[in-house]
Amino acid sequence: MVVNVFPAHDENGNYKMMVDGNDFYAVMTPTNQTVNVAGITATFTWDPPSNVDAGLGQTTILEYRVLNTFSWTNISIDIPSLHPNYTLTGLSSATTYEWALGSACGKYKAFNSTIQTFTTQ
């Protein structure tokens, strides 16, 4: 079986791929990711992907866990803002967490950022 794949753009300039005539949009990840910790609260900020305003149904995903543990907690964040943020409250004190921000569009997910850490007070 031969599958024809090639990159393309839609009428709004968004990246997409054509696979045997079907459109698949590129899932782009948030940029300029930061976290601000105050006590047992962590506030995450980021810039949305460049194609987020194209009505593609893209969602930001926050994954976090206690450092060196197995299970990640996943939070889907639908925030149609130019300066989105999300605040986690009730975290354990004096604990180091790992976190990453990614994006999802339908069943496709993308995490191209490195896993980062923060420590509560």
For the chain, which residues make up each domain, given as ranges?
Answer: 27-119
Q: Among 21-25, 37-41, 67-71, 87-91, where is mean pLDDT lowest?
A: 21-25
Residue where the block lists tokens 């896993």? 115
Q: How much is the mean pLDDT over the chain?
A: 77
Compute the distance between CA of residue 90 and CA of residue 74 in angstroms, rounded to an integer.
16
Q: What average pLDDT score do residues 38-63 get?
A: 79
What share of the chain in percent tops pLDDT 70? 63
Question: pTM here?
Answer: 0.75
> What class, spelled out in words, does domain 27-119 have in CATH?
mainly beta
Local confidence band at 69 (pLDDT 50, 70, 90 cut-offs): very high
Mean pLDDT, residues 64-85 taken together: 86
